[in-house]
Structure 1
Amino acid sequence: MPEAWMAQAIKTDLGDHAPCDPAFPPKAIAHITADRKCTAGAPLDLVPFARLKDFFTQGGKGMAPHILWDPFTGAFAQFFPATSRSKSLDDPPGGTRTNRAGKVVVQIEALFFPHCRVDGHVFARLGDTPCKGWSDLNAWVRSWGVPDTWPMGPPAGFVPDRSPGVWSSQGGWYAHAHVPENDHLDPGSWPAFVPGQPGQPGRVHTARPAFEPFPGASFFRAGQKSPVIAAMHRRLVAEGCNRYQPGGDIDAWGAGDVSSYAAWQQKLGFSDGDANGIPGKSSWDRLHVPNV
């Protein structure tokens, strides 16, 4: 039987427990606290873990997650057992009950905001942090039957991509930007899943890279459909290279992909025939397309 309270977490039970809905598959939702706004040119110090923990036990009770995670120190605080819903998602009347739509709906708030400063170093993406404690957190969530998959694709920039049908039918990890009836765009990035270890519940995973390896220029042909193309699409949009027309299939290679990828190549300093919109290994590796 999996543990309702994560052993590594400070237990700060808020009470007010309520059941989840087992008619839906188990899920985990990835958030960042995003408690400060700054830029690469004007970074700000990370808010202390203790301050966020106190917030969720006081004025922020109405939006508390299951787990607050500090990826710089590996500290955790837990406010609800895994068997209860938490309150980090907007849940308007009618529609799906977002905080309950799963056998479990484990909400994780990573203590992070883009361009936060820690010990003199600035971090643009959550995935760039040390991600201390992630292996423990991944294993605990996995123990509740949440598969190591991103049904809507791994978060790759602050881009919304919501599908109520996928949300209702598929278990796994969802970005806040993937959740129906919500308008947040976080977390922007997330660490790669940790290979399964002996004795851990859930399926055993083989190690794989965080980013998609270059599939070769011949892969990018008209009409080619793949989740790799969808992940590339999201990264190009996140990088400000959106030359797509609305309404297209984001997983099928087409004219919008060529135009958008050419914009990415130009952003990297390529020109003429080297900015023809067909991915090459150098530009692909620098795009950091998440492994799907």
Structure 2
Amino acid sequence: MPEPWLPQALRADLGDHAPCDADFPARAIAHITADLEATPQAPLNLVPFTNLKGFFTGDGKGQAPHLLWDPFTGAFAQFFPATSRSKAVFDAAGGVRTNRAGEVVIQIEALFFPHCRVDGRVFAKLVDTPCKGWDTLHTWIRSWGVPDVWPMGRPTSLTRNTCPTDTWRSRGGWYAHAHVPENDHVDPGSWPAFVFRPSEPPPVGPRFEPFPGSSFFRPGRTSPVIAAMHGRLVAEDCDRYTSSTHIDVWGPGDVRSYLAWQQKLGLAGSAADGIPGRFSWDRLGVPQV
């Protein structure tokens, strides 16, 4: 059976699970957070990932999707397992069960609004972003039997195109929030293309160090793994070191630099303490030594 929780996601389980309706085909629903209104003449800074995660675990839990996806860093937070309905679309009593009609109905909120600004650059459409993590997300959703089709067409603009009830009931695949019956939204405006896998075995790519466990990172630990991590933190512009010597020894500079990496991923609180955890380590991609 596929994994109910995306392994790369921060798990923020809201509880209140409820089954989907397996009499209908598997589907996914694409959203953008659209949390601010910007224009080409007046762009606005992207809202931090932690803010939206906090919203969906707080006042916005009644609107929470399965997943919050940051296409700029590849970070994920998950609020419901794939086997449960989520709550990100309006679902009229006695209606077409928009949150439940499918073997799964996986809803994704991409952290994005048109004309958001990140590191000084303005992005008009979601597809203009790096879309980091999309291959991981797409592969996981596909594992739940959601076919690589858009029954109402892949979204290309912020326009409403309500799906006929018969199509909604009979055809699985990907739907924009703009397609969902009973709703009046126009998002997401665009969405990345499906990631198709070649039929032949792909060439061997780079190999990465597996997470050695948090206890590995103790003061004075000497290892080539720490030196390789040092190089990746510098490459990610998280260099908070005061010396270029003894880069293979775990020390205060590593803690400061790794904390900068955790914060770059949108982590906070106990998840941003400068000590590697599996989620942040896997995202860093430390080369195998």
TM-score, normalised relative to structure 2: 0.68
What's the counterpart of residue 146 of structure 1? 146
Which amino acid in 2 is paired with 1:127? V
Unaligned ranges ≥5, structure 2: 201-289
Partner of 1:175: 176
* Larger-gyration structure (1/2): 2
Q: CA deviation at 1:26?
A: 0.3
**Identical columns (%):** 70
Secondary structure class of the residue paired with 1:109: strand
CA 1:137–1:198 in structure 2 vs 1: closer, same or farther (change >3 Å)? farther
State the secondary structure of the residue aligned to 1:20: coil
User: In structure 1, how many angstroms separate the alpha carbons of the residues matched to 2:158 and 2:36?
Assistant: 15
What is the CA distance between 1:13 and its match in structure 2?
A: 0.4
SS at match of 1:127: helix
Partner amino acid for 2:58? Answer: Q
1:46-65, aligned counterparts within 5 Å?
46-65=46-65
Tell me what 2:31 maps to: 31
Partner of 1:131: 131
Query: How far did 1:83 drift?
Result: 0.1
**Alpha-carbon distance, 1:196 to partner:** 2.6
- Partners of 2:102 and 2:32 in 1: CA distance: 21
> Which one-letter code corresponds to 1:30 in the other structure?
A
Task: State the partner residue of 1:119.
Answer: 119
Structure 2 partner of 1:9: 9
Cα distance in structure 1, aligned partners of 2:192 and 2:70: 13
- Code of the residue aligned with 2:36 in structure 1: it is R
Aligned counterpart, 2:186:
185
Per-residue CA shift, 1:195-228, capped at 9, x if unaligned? 13679xxxxxxxxxxxxxxxxxxxxxxxxxxxxx
d(CA) in 1 for partners of 2:61 and 2:149? 29
Alignment partners' CA distance in 1, 2:186 and 2:197: 29
User: What residue number does 2:42 align with?
Assistant: 42
Count residues in correspondence: 200
Q: Could you say which residue in structure 2 is the equivalent of 1:86?
A: 86
The superposition leaves residues 147-203 of structure 1 with CA deviations (integer Å, 9 ceiling, x where unpaired) of 11100000010111112211111000000000000001100000000013679xxxx
Deviations 1:30-63 (A, max 9, x none): 0000000010000000000000001000000000
Separation in 1, partners of 2:199, 2:7: 18
RMSD over equivalenced CA pairs, Å: 1.4
Query: Paired residue for 2:220?
Result: none
- Distance in 2 (CA, whole Å) between partners of 1:8 and 1:95 is 34
Q: Which amino acid in 1 is paired with 2:183?
A: N
Query: 1:164 and 1:186 mapped to 2: Cα distance?
Result: 19
Q: Is the partner of 1:182 in helix, strand or coil?
A: coil
Q: Which amino acid aligns with 1:21?
A: D
Question: The residue matched to 1:139 in structure 2 has which SS?
Answer: helix
CA–CA distance in 1 between the matches of 2:90 and 2:134?
A: 25
In structure 1, what is the equivalent of residue 18 of structure 2?
18
Please report how far the alpha carbon of residue 75 of structure 1 lies from its aligned counterpart in structure 2 after TM superposition. Answer: 0.2
Give the Cα–Cα distance (whole angstroms) in 1 for the partners of residues 197 and 92 of structure 2: 37
Separation in 2, partners of 1:198, 1:60? 42
Structure 2 distance, partners of 1:167, 1:117, is 35
User: Secondary structure at the residue paired with 1:86?
Assistant: coil
Task: Give the whole-Å Cα distance in 2 for the aligned partners of 1:91 and 1:69.
Answer: 23
Letter in 2 for 1:129: T
Tell me the residue number matched to 2:99.
Answer: 99
Hey, what does 2:71 align to over in structure 1? 71
**Equivalences for 1:261-276 in 2 at 5 Å?**
none
Query: Could you say what secondary structure the match of 1:108 adopts?
Result: strand
**Any idea what SS the aligned residue of 2:189 has?**
coil
Question: Pairwise mapping of residues 136-285 of structure 1 onto structure 2 (< 5 A)?
Answer: 136-162=136-162, 163-196=164-197
Structure 1, unaligned runs of 5 or more: 200-292
Amino acid corresponding to residue 38 of structure 2 in structure 1: C
- SS class of match (2:113): coil
Mapped partners of 1:16, 1:137: distance in 2: 23
Distance 1:197 1:54, change over 3 A: farther
Distance, in Å, in 2 between the alignment partners of 1:33 and 1:18 is 23
Give, in angstroms, the shift of residue 110 of structure 1.
Answer: 0.1
Give the partner amino acid of 2:49: F
